[in-house]
Amino acid sequence: MTSEVETNIKKQAMLDALEANYGNITKAAKAAGIAVRTHYKWRKEDDAYDNLVLSIKDISYGKVRDKLMEEAFLRIKRGDSSVLNKMLSLFYKNLEQDMKDAAWINHVPIRAKVKFVNTPVNWNLEEVKKAHEQMRNEGK
């Protein structure tokens, strides 16, 4: 085989190893049998390889994010209110400003309020529905 063919085979092995190791370059290089410096040299010299590495990095981050979300949802389902509150604070930390921006863009007044409360460890869906209904009635 020519050295170019061998290099392409090793590049593909490195790409496969990157995906298998969630973007961890050191582990992927070891699995592919190349030096980490070689990987960076290929990225610098080969734009197509660099683009593939970047797309694998995005895919890997997505997989990690999905696994974290899955674990968080399992913990919430088991009643871990601290995980629920943290997720709500992360996802809705800019909600007030987002609502103001949407209202300004759409020329409509803001009609919603968000209130964060501690969730009991053993919550009952029926109780949550009743509390939600009570809050809606109070708001009228």
For 34-73, write each residue's pLDDT tens digit.
999 999 999 999 999 999 999 888 888 888 888 888 888 8
Q: Nearest Cα to 116, choosing from 89, 91, 81? A: 89
Question: What pLDDT shows up at residue 35?
Answer: 95
Instruction: Find tokens 């390889």 and name the residue.
Output: 49
**Structural domain of 43:** 1-78
For 74-85, write each residue's pLDDT tens digit.
888 888 778 777
Regarding whether 67 and 7 lie in a shared domain, the answer is yes
Question: What pLDDT shows up at residue 29?
Answer: 95
Regarding whether 119 and 130 lie in a shared domain, the answer is yes
List Cβ neighbours of 57 (8 Å cut-off, separation of 6 or more). Answer: 18, 23
Regarding whether 2 and 17 lie in a shared domain, the answer is yes
Between the alpha carbon of residue 133 and those of residues 77, 85, 108, 125, 138, the distances in Å are 22, 21, 24, 12, 9
pLDDT at 31 over 80: yes
Share of the chain above pLDDT 70, in %: 74
